[in-house]
C-alpha cells in the first residue's frame, strides 16, 4: 500500500467489546479491543500517515516476540484460542499468540483501507474488504465462501459486524443483514433509512441488536431482524455500549451521550471539547468510570457513566492545532485499575521541520487520578490501542505503509 492510498482512513477507534473494559478471557473466548470490536474504536477523514520512524531499533522491556507486517494495521486485532487475528491493508493474518509464528495468511487482490474488524462465528472467522465478505475456517485459514456486497462509488461503506448464534449480522450499505455462515442462507434483511459510514456501529446484547446510523439509534431482534424501537439522537453514530439501562455512544466531535434504553430519552451529554472540531475518540470502561480520549486537544477524560459528570481529566497529548510534541492516537485500554494508552512522540522537539520523525510510547496511568505510572517506549508510531491477552500486552507499532506486532509482558 503506497502513502497516497492510506490518506483515507476509518475515522473511528476500535473500542472494547467487553463492557467492563477488562480484556482477559477463557481459552475459547474472543478477546478484542474492537468496538463491537472497537475499534478499532466516526467519519471518513483525510489522514496523513506518520513519517517513517527512526527508532525501529528500540527494544521493549520484557519483549516476548515481535513480527513485521506487510500492510498497515488499520483495525484493532482480536484474539481467539491461541490465535491473534490482525487485519491489515493487504491481508488477514493469523498469528500464534504464544510464539508470534505466522499460522496462516489470507490475501485478496485489493490493497485497501476499506476493511472491517473480523468476528468469530462458530469455527469461522468473517471479515469484509471493499465490497466482499470473506468467511474462512479460523484454525486453517481455508476459504469457506465469499459474497459480493453492495457498493457505493460515492461513499466509503464500512461494514460493522457481530454474531448471534450461528448468524453473522452486519451492515451492508443501507441494510442490516443476517447470514447463516454454515448454509450461506440470507436469513433476514432490514432496510435502514441511511447507510453506515463508520465502524463500528453495531452492538449485540442478548437477542437485541443496537445499531447507530447518523442521527438515530435502532434496536432490532437478532433472530428475525424485526425493528423493536428507534429514537433520534444528536450527532451520535458510533461506538455503542450498553451500561445497565443506558445506551452510551460517541459522536463526531468527541461528545458522549447516554440514552434510556427503554424510551430513548437523553439522560446526559458530555462534550470533551466543543472548540476543537472533528475528534477521533474512543471509550473504555472500568467498573464505575468511562474513559475517552480526544486527539484534537490531547486530553484523557474520566466520566461517570451514571450521570455524565467529569471525574478528572489529564492532558497527555499536544493539541493537534498546536506544535505537535505528543500526539494521542489510540483509545484507552483499562485493566486492573490502570489505563493504557498510546501516543506518538517527536524524536526532536527542537526541530523546526513540520515532518519530524516519530516514535511511539505507551503510557500506564492510574485509573482514579490520571497520574502517569510508567512509560513504555514503542518502536515506530502507535497504530492501535493496546490489547491485553492473559496479562500480556499486544501492541501494533506502524509507520509509512507497514507495521509490526509486538508482545510484551
Which candidate, 403, 399, 389, 359, places its Cα nearest to that of 377? Answer: 359
> Domain holding 53: CATH number?
2.130.10.10
**Cα(228)–Cα(143) distance, rounded to whole angstroms?**
35
Q: Cα(105)–Cα(202) distance, rounded to whole angstroms?
A: 27
Task: Look at residue 317 in the predicted model and tell me its pLDDT.
Answer: 78
Q: Which residue reads 466543543 in cell numbers?
A: 274
Could you tell me the residue range of the domain that residue 272 belongs to? 4-408
pLDDT computed for residue 404 by the predictor: 80
| pLDDT tens profile 221-260 | 999 999 999 998 877 766 788 999 999 988 877 788 999 9
DSSP string, 182-217: TT--EEEEEE-SS---SS--EEEETTEEEEEETTEE
Domain tally, the chain? 1
pLDDT tens, residue by residue, 162-197: 999 999 999 887 889 999 999 999 999 998 766 665
Cell 487482490 appears where?
A: 109
Q: Could you tell me the pLDDT band of residue 280, with boundaries at 50, 70 and 90?
A: low
Give the distance, in angstroms, between the CA of residue 58 and the centroid of all CA atoms in the same chain. 26
Q: What is the pLDDT of residues 324-383, one digit of tens each?
A: 555 565 678 899 999 988 877 766 555 555 555 567 788 899 999 999 999 888 777 766
Angle at 269 between CA 264 and CA 272, to 5 degrees: 145
CA distance 244 to 217: 17
Instruction: Look up residue 41 and give its three cell numbers.
Output: 474504536
Amino acid at each position: 500500500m503506497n502513502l497516497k492510498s492510506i490518506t483515507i482512513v476509518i475515522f473511528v477507534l476500535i473500542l472494547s467489546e467487553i463492557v467492563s473494559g477488562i480484556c482477559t478471557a477463557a481459552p475459547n473466548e474472543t478477546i478484542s479491543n474492537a468496538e463491537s470490536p472497537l475499534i478499532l474504536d466516526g467519519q471518513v477523514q483525510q489522514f496523513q500517515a506518520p513519517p517513517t520512524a527512526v527508532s525501529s531499533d528500540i527494544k521493549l522491556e520484557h519483549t516476548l516476540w515481535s513480527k513485521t507486517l506487510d500492510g498497515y494495521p488499520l483495525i484493532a486485532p482480536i484474539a481467539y484460542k491461541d490465535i491473534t487475528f490482525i487485519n491489515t491493508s493487504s491481508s488477514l493474518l493469523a498469528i500464534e499468540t504464544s510464539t508470534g509464528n505466522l499460522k496462516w495468511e489470507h490475501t485478496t487482490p485489493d490493497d485497501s483501507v476499506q476493511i472491517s474488524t473480523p468476528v468469530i462465528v462458530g469455527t469461522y472467522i468473517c471479515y469484509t474488504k471493499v465490497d466482499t465478505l470473506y468467511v474462512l475456517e479460523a484454525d486453517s485459514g481455508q476459504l469457506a465462501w465469499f459474497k459480493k456486497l453492495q457498493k457505493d462509488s460515492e461513499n466509503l461503506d464500512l461494514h460493522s459486524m457481530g454474531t448471534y448464534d450461528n448468524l453473522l449480522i452486519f451492515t451492508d450499505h443501507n441494510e442490516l443483514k443476517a447470514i447463516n455462515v454454515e448454509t450461506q442462507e440470507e436469513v433476514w434483511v432490514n432496510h435502514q433509512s441511511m447507510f453506515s459510514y463508520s465502524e463500528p456501529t453495531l452492538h449485540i446484547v442478548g437477542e437485541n441488536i443496537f445499531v447507530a446510523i447518523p442521527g438515530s439509534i435502532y434496536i432490532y431482534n437478532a433472530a428475525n431482524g424485526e425493528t423493536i424501537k428507534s429514537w433520534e439522537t444528536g450527532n451520535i453514530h458510533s461506538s455503542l455500549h450498553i451500561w445497565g439501562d443506558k445506551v452510551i455512544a460517541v459522536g463526531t466531535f468527541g461528545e458522549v451521550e447516554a440514552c434510556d434504553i427503554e424510551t430513548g430519552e437523553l439522560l446526559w451529554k458530555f462534550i470533551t471539547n466543543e472548540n476543537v472540531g472533528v475528534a477521533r475518540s474512543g471509550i473504555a470502561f472500568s467498573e464505575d468510570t468511562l474513559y475517552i480520549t480526544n486527539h484534537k486537544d490531547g486530553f484523557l477524560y474520566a466520566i461517570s457513566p451514571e450521570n455524565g459528570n467529569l471525574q478528572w481529566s489529564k492532558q497527555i497529548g499536544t493539541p493537534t492545532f498546536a506544535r505537535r510534541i505528543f500526539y494521542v492516537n489510540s483509545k484507552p485500554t483499562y485493566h486492573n485499575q490502570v489505563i493504557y494508552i498510546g501516543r506518538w512522540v517527536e524524536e526532536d522537539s527542537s526541530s523546526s521541520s513540520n515532518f519530524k520523525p516519530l516514535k511511539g510510547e505507551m503510557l500506564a496511568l492510574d485509573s482514579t487520578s490520571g497520574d502517569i505510572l510508567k512509560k513504555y517506549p514503542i518502536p515506530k508510531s502507535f497504530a492501535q490501542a493496546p490489547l491485553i491477552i492473559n496479562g500480556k500486552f499486544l501492541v501494533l507499532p506502524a509507520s509509512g505503509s507497514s507495521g509490526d506486532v509486538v508482545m510484551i509482558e
